[in-house]
Structure 1
Amino acid sequence: MSKLSIDELAVFAKKKGFVFPSTEIYGGMAGFFEYGPLGVELKNNIKASWWKTFVQSREDVFGLDGSLISSAKIWEASGHLASFSDMLVQCVKCGKSHRADSLVEDTLKINVDGIKADALNKLIADNNIKCPECKSDLKPVESFNLMFPVQIGAEKTKDSTAYLRGETAQLIFAAFRNIVDSSRVKLPFGIAQVGKAFRNEISPRNFLFRTREFEQMELEFFIKPDDRKCLLLEKKHLDLAFFFYSAEDQEKKKEHSQTKISDMLKKKKLDEWHAYWLAESYLWFTGLGMKEENLRVREHTKTELSHYSSATFDIDYNFPFGWKEIYGNANRGQFDLAQHMKHSGKSLEIFDEDEKGRIVPRVIEPSFGVDRAFMSFLYDAYNDDTERGNIVLKLHPKLAPIKVGVFPLINKLDKDARKVYDMLKDEFACTYDRGGSIGRRYARADEQGIPFCITIDFETLEDKAVTIRDRDNTKQERIKISKLKDKLGELLNQ
């Protein structure tokens, strides 16, 4: 992968119009970003691919777009108000707050996922860890809730405090009854949602990796409680090989190793439905060009498992700052539906034709971070081509913000080139560029990730053909204008 640092990626992303700091003219705010002209297209393409793959191309998944602000009762039922927290330490002198686990990890270069407050306090004391800002002592570790409260209406009452959603999943569980009643669903089935979530992070960091406003692509898949046999599990899933970091290897301080989904099933690491969704999710990443050597599956250790999960597996990406989660897959069991039934007093059972009775389904949850996927795809695509003398952003054609660049060789050919551009722009995301030499325009297109460039030259006036230039290998091919649409469609859908 590229040796680009996280700060260098942020500079590149800003310079090329992918991502900007939010409200930068006022000094910006930590943990908030805005997606520029190229960034919004790339981000939309990621979400569109996910929605097409996991919703529109399936008969067993239904979509939802839930509210960003929701009742405190939802978050009380889910446990977020009581336990959706990170560990905080504060400097006794300058008052600066730090996320305790991140501070310990950065200082000691160890993994402390799932570690408790007492153990963090001991590590800080034993290793004489000080405030990074002023080198003073730190107060004891305390819990800091990450939910953002919102005042609803003009009058402050016990019911006027709502919350920005801390995840999209809970809105799915809250809407479960309405979707079951309106959509003629039959187990097993899923409900999917793409949208914003908000967490009041103590220490936003690493560009888009840890922010206070972010986007998720989540799917809750509902299954009969005793159903362990997945009829959707195929040979391609069972034979899928990848780097795997087991809980045992983590505890023994070993490195990750190669394994297959079939091996995980034999070792009873997970059930078939869990395995199916882990494999499908991994294949989505690699199907869009993400390099397998930069991905691994990591099993959560017992100490870090969420209260609702019996087994969780992350897909990590090998960032310059370490292997970090870009996806999580949890076996949530019946926890969420049972909690919302208990707190709302409403039944979220579903009638099962086979059982001839009402049941509470269990849940497998594949959860993707949009912004983290965005950053991973950028890292994977970034290539400093010393031979060309410019950056080449080798994004998968399905993700590329702009699919086609149209260039007149010289300005005298502008009218003819415009005709080609006008012919293509309603079918493909195109850009038109007539500024500078053709080589400089190719370089700009490479840096924007444009897969194919069309050049209109003097020969075009004679043979009614254009040159298609491939971004990845710079090879050029002559194509008749009459066949250009079909050729581009073929190239972009390879």
Structure 2
Amino acid sequence: MSEGDESAALTELAKRRGFFFGSSEAYGGVGGFYTYGPQGAALKSNVEEAWRERFAVQEGNLEIEAPTIMPEPVFEASGHLDGFDDMLVECAECGESHRADHLIEDNSELEDAETLSPEAAAEKIADLGLVCPTCGADLAGQSVEDFNLMFETNIGPGSSTPGYLRPETAQGIFVEFPRIKEYARNSLPFGVTQVGRAYRNEISPRKSIVRTREFTQAELEHFIDPERDEADLSAVEDVEVLLYPATEQEADDGDYVETTIGEAVDDGIIGNAWLGYFLGIAQEWYETVGVDMDRFRFRQHLAGERAHYSSDCWDAESEVDGDWIEIAGFSYRSDYDLSKHGEYGDDDFTVFQQYDEPKTVERAVVDPDMATLGPEFGAQAADVAEALETLAERDPDAFDADEVTLDVDGEEITVDTDVANFAVETQTEAGEHITPHVVEPSFGIDRTVYTLLAHAYETDEVDGEARSYLSLSPSVAPTNVGVFPLVSNVDGLVDLADDVAEELRAAGFAVVYDDSGSIGRRYRRQDEVGTPFCITIDRDGLEGDGADTVTIRERDSGKQVRLPVDDLVGTLVGLRAGTASFDDVLDDNEVVEA
């Protein structure tokens, strides 16, 4: 089956079996929005919970849930109003808008067209002779413009407050940092997680749930003191990873680097140990939830791709339908975010770090004579006093002269030095206020779901009949167990099936009960939605004087064993958690020939 056929088959399966489908189709649909059906919603929820367990619970991190709409000043501070753009080119014939960098990448060898300027992108479109994908008209000569991706709204009626739907969940964490740090007892390092919706007005949504206008992110903002806090790599130093560093991407004969996290950090391939730590636990987590690790890599951002505040950034990428798609990003954001919100906001975005021992230091201080400044500068007097304090901190030697020159709101002002009452004092300090740096792992939940489905989609032949199935990990599969009474007219058989289903649900398993059609058809229905195990209650299990038994069938191999009902819950718990394999179950129980 070709790559295009595989994609079409997966899309058809997703719609038919209730994983995901285009939203509002009764009204013609709208691009970039998808509804998760019963199977998809369960799979997505399981992925989110698996992420929480690993990145929040096991790491001892906090979790918050912030609003999805935030006021305009938040995004002025974050830089999203000025710099959150994609390149748009509009067809002069049909009026359709397209993302310029995607057109270039789809029709050339260039993999990082997003690093081009709009002018360079327009030249590339002309050089390649690109045409409109919708109507075929020539796009040469059309300008390429920056298009801001945020959805704008109004908060309240009348002269309302402008606001935006958040384009990432991270800003909710940064804005609430002054309060969250108290919950963390002002003790660095600490992490804050959030799983929730984000919104981007994509120019050209594509590839179903891979690029949408509404999506779910799972983000961790890890706050550290860069001078004191060192990452402990002992838990991940031996984790093997496939890396695609920027140097290899830029080399003519560049190739992947197969190494371990510890070696990559020691060799400087991963330049920051905290990034190395999170790449290591992400590698293990993706394998646990079922990503095919033969189709997975970490790619380092090229210099032109990195945000201006990021000193290093790596993407987790999965291969799907012949393309590499970003499913997570790992960035060292320095102190950019908290510094900007500290500049724009009215709260304290620092943390007080106590010294091991108090320090005696000399501080330049001023005590401006307001009785002189007030009459001379009027309403500006307070700003002048603040400027004197800033100058004393920055350049104490300036007060050696008879006058000092200040910049107050762009105006140059001269003040007599004796009015400042400048002095150098000896002070004892117990600690200092620092602005923490941020290490950010950011996961795309929808793209992870798509990757899991694409990597799990398999076809084979069973009993001379073609079968398609989803080889999903038991840890995230929408349904854990199918329970089937072989026939519905045998005394005790249906009652036992009901009891088994009830007991499994009470133990926390998602169970589907199916008594319709042949047993083979029932197996195929569950195989197709990825149910890892099916329990069949038959006559043989009720015969004799011993304990009741059932058969348990494993999805991928189709193999079955018979085991006592009393052992069923414990066996399935081990299989779902990964502490036992089905081969172990085969070894310990009676194998049943289907």
Note the 1:58-207 alignment, pairs <5 A: 58-59=59-60, 61-111=61-111, 112-138=113-139, 139-157=142-160, 160-207=161-208
- Which residue in 2 is equivalent to 1:244? 243
Matches within 5 A, 1:393-472: 393-412=470-489, 413-427=493-507, 428-462=509-543, 463=546, 464-472=548-556
* Per-residue deviation, 1:308: 1.7
Shift of 1:121: 1.3
The AA in structure 1 aligned to 2:444 is: G
AA aligned to 1:155 is G
Q: How does 1:346-361 map to 2 (within 5 A)?
A: 346-354=347-355, 356-361=431-436
- Amino acid in structure 2 at the alignment position of 1:208: I
SS at match of 2:317: strand
State how 1:245-264 maps to structure 2 within 5 Å. Answer: 245-253=244-252, 254-264=254-264
SS at match of 1:177: helix
Q: Partners of 2:20 and 2:109 in 1: how far apart?
A: 29
Q: CA offset at residue 34 of structure 1?
A: 0.6
Aligned residue identity for 1:403: N
Alignment counterpart, residue 392 of structure 1, candidates 463, 469, 478? 469
C-alpha contact (below 8 Å) 1:68/1:165 kept by paired residues: yes
Paired with 1:123 and 1:2, the residues of 2 have a C-alpha distance of: 30
Gaps in structure 1 of 5+ consecutive residues: none
Relative distance call for 1:204 and 1:36 in structure 2 (3 A) is same
Structure showing greater relative contact order (alpha-carbon pairs closer than 8 Å, 6 or more residues apart): 1
CA-to-aligned-CA distance 1:82-124 (integer Å, 9 cap, x gap) = 0100000001111110000001111224212422212211111
Please, which moves more after superposition, 377-386 or 29-38? 377-386
Quick check: 1:465–1:479 contact (8 Å CA) kept in 2? yes
Once the two structures are superposed, residues 161-189 of structure 1 have per-residue CA deviations (whole angstroms, 9 ceiling, x without a partner) of 10100000011000111111234252111
How far off its partner does 1:276 sit? 0.5
Task: Return the offset for 1:257.
Answer: 3.5
SS in 1 for 2:472: coil
In structure 1, the residue corresponding to 2:512 is in which secondary structure? Answer: strand
8 Å contact from structure 1 (residues 228, 271) kept in 2: no
* Runs of 5+ unmatched residues, structure 2: 357-430, 579-594
2:98 counterpart SS class? strand
The CA deviation string for residues 267-291 of structure 1, in whole angstroms up to 9 with x for no partner, is 3232111110111112110122322
Q: In structure 1, what is the Cα distance between the partners aligned to 2:202 and 2:42?
A: 27
More deviation, 242-251/256-265: 256-265
Secondary structure in 1 matching 2:209: coil
Counting aligned pairs with the same residue, the percent is: 41
Q: Tell me if the contact between 1:165 and 1:197 (Cα under 8 Å) persists in the aligned partners.
A: yes
- Is 2:339–2:435's contact at 8 Å kept on the other side of the alignment? yes
Helix, strand or coil for the counterpart of 2:208?
A: coil
Q: What is the deviation of 1:24? A: 1.3
* Structure 1 contact 403–429 (Cα < 8 Å) conserved: yes
Q: Bigger CA drift: 389-398 or 209-218?
A: 389-398
| Cα deviations by residue, 1:248-283 (Å, 9 ceiling, x for unpaired) | 221225343423323322332321111101111121
Q: Does the 8 Å contact 1:468/1:478 carry over to 2?
A: yes
Contact 2:47/2:289, CA 8 A, preserved across alignment:
no
Residues of 2 paired with 1:28 and 1:217: CA distance? 27
Matches of 1:185 and 1:8, distance apart in 2: 52
**Aligned counterpart, 1:272:** 273
Q: Give the SS at the match of 2:87.
A: strand
Q: CA RMSD in A?
A: 1.7
1:332-382 CA-to-partner distances (Å, cap 9, x unmatched) read 000000000001142211111346221111010000000000001111111
> Residues 76 and 188 of structure 1: is their aligned pair in 2 closer, same or farther, counting only changes over 3 Å?
same
Question: What is the Cα deviation at residue 52 of structure 1?
Answer: 1.0
The answer to whether the 8 A contact 1:115-1:304 is kept is no
Secondary structure at the residue paired with 1:208?
helix
- Retained in 1: the 8 A contact 2:99–2:203? yes
Tell me how far apart the structure 1 counterparts of residues 355 and 533 of structure 2 sit (CA, whole Å): 53
**Greater alpha carbon shift after TM alignment, 242-251 vs 138-147:** 242-251
Is residue 47–residue 476 contact of structure 2 (8 Å, CA) maintained in 1?
Answer: yes
Deviations 1:53-72 (A, max 9, x none): 1112233x100101011111
Deviation readout 1:194-214 (Å, 9 max, x if unpaired): 000000000000111100000
- 1:220 and 1:176 map into 2 onto residues whose CA distance is 10
Q: Take 2:107 and 2:176, find their aligned partners in 1: how far apart are those partners?
A: 44
Contact 2:265 2:276 in 1 (8 A): yes
The question of whether the paired residues in 1 share the 8 Å contact of 2:217 and 2:443 is answered with: yes
Q: Residues 19 and 432 (structure 1 numbering): CA distance in 2 closer, same or farther, change over 3 Å?
A: same
The CA distance in 1 between the partners of 2:54 and 2:334, in whole Å, is 24
8 A Cα contact 1:191 1:220, kept in partner: yes
TM-score (norm 1): 0.95
- Does the 8 A contact of 1:169 with 1:218 survive in 2? yes
Distance (whole Å) between structure 1 residues aligned to residue 2 and residue 560 of structure 2: 26
Residues 220-268 of structure 1, C-alpha deviations (whole Å, 9 max, x = no match): 000102246312x11x522222222111221225343423323322332
Counterparts of 1:423 and 1:277 in 2: how far apart (Å)? Answer: 38
In structure 2, C-alpha distance between the alignment counterparts of 1:487 and 1:458, rounded to whole Å = 22
CA distance in 1, matches of 2:561, 2:436: 55
Give SS of 1:411's match: coil
The offset of 1:2, in angstroms, is: 8.9
Larger radius of gyration: 2
Q: What secondary structure, in the 3-state scheme, does the structure 2 residue paired with 1:54 have?
A: helix
Whether 1:490 aligns to 2:574 is yes
The amino acid of 2:299's aligned partner reads R
> Aligned partner of 2:119: which letter?
D
Task: List aligned pairs for 1:250-329, cutoff 5 A.
Answer: 250-253=249-252, 254-268=254-268, 269-329=270-330
Q: Helix, strand or coil: the match of 1:5? A: helix
Structure 2 counterpart SS, 1:389? strand
Match of 1:368 among 410, 432, 443: 443
Q: Counterpart of 1:386 in 2: which secondary structure?
A: strand
